[in-house]
Amino acid sequence: MIETNPHRLPRIVLPSHYALELEPDLAQSSFQGQVIIDLEVVEETDTIVLNAAELTVENVQVEQGALVQASSISFDEDLERATFTFPVVLQPGPAKLSCSFTGTLNDKLRGFYRSTWTDEEGNEKVIATTQFESTNARRAFPCFDEPDLKASFGVTLRVDESLMAISCGELVSSTDLGGGRREDRF
């Protein structure tokens, strides 16, 4: 049964690890990405509720034995939640949730946003940066964005090769994608 506390996500599905991929487009002030979340299903459910705000979310799938596409995706803008319903009942145990998403690099100084800096010659440059505290990760990717729902992260950033990508984790690999793009894994 899904909890109805408007201030907390249900605790019937819990995250343990995020494999997050983000690809900002500074010229268009937008970004796209995908996330795979390792989950622990605590009790039977056909619904997963997580946080998402100011995002378009697509291609939602869950894997627990078989890969299953969500039968419905709904959003509650006031509560900043996305609800994914599946045509199967998930059983207690491990599962993987995956989805793709897009968003806007806005100037709100929260989530994944656009900022500027000035170089030595006085030219203004655009960067994409993040502010996830306290509940703003949901503006960058669909997630369980509550302080007690901690999980580990693997982050992949796809950027123009002239840019520096930085994450809290150590750089694991950097791959030339061709066409002036690079993929950095943290």
What pLDDT does 116 receive? 92
Whether 7 shows a pLDDT value over 90: the answer reads no
What pLDDT does 17 receive? 99
Instruction: State the sign of the Cα–Cα–Cα–Cα dihedral 170, 161, 58, 114.
Output: positive
Return the closest-CA partner of residue 69 out of 81, 79, 78, 59: 59
Mean pLDDT for the chain? 94
Return the closest-CA partner of residue 184 out of 105, 25, 176, 36: 176
What pLDDT does 133 receive? 87
**What tokens does 107 get?**
């100037």
Spell out the SS3 assignment of the chain: CCCCCCCCCCCCEEEEEEEEEEEEECCCCEEEEEEEEEEEECCCEEEEEEECCCEEEEEEEEEECEEEECCEEEEECCCCEEEEEEEEEECCEEEEEEEEEEEECCCCCCEEEEEEEECCCCCEEEEEEEECCCCCHHHCCCECCCCCCCCEEEEEEEEECCCCCCCCCCCCEEEEEECCEEEEEC
Region 7-22: mean pLDDT is: 96
**What tokens does 2 get?**
């899904």
What pLDDT does 1 receive? 47
pLDDT per residue as tens digits for the range 24-64: 999 999 999 999 999 999 999 999 999 999 999 999 999 99
pLDDT per residue as tens digits for the range 95-138: 999 999 999 999 999 999 999 999 999 999 999 999 998 889 99
57: Cα separation from own chain's centroid: 10
Domains of the chain, earliest start first:
13-106+134-185 (2.60.40.1730)
Q: Please indicate whether residue 2 or residue 8 has the higher confidence score (pLDDT).
A: 8
**For residues 103 and 140, what is the distance between their CA atoms, to the nearest angstrom?**
7
Confidence of residue 4 (pLDDT cuts 50, 70, 90): low
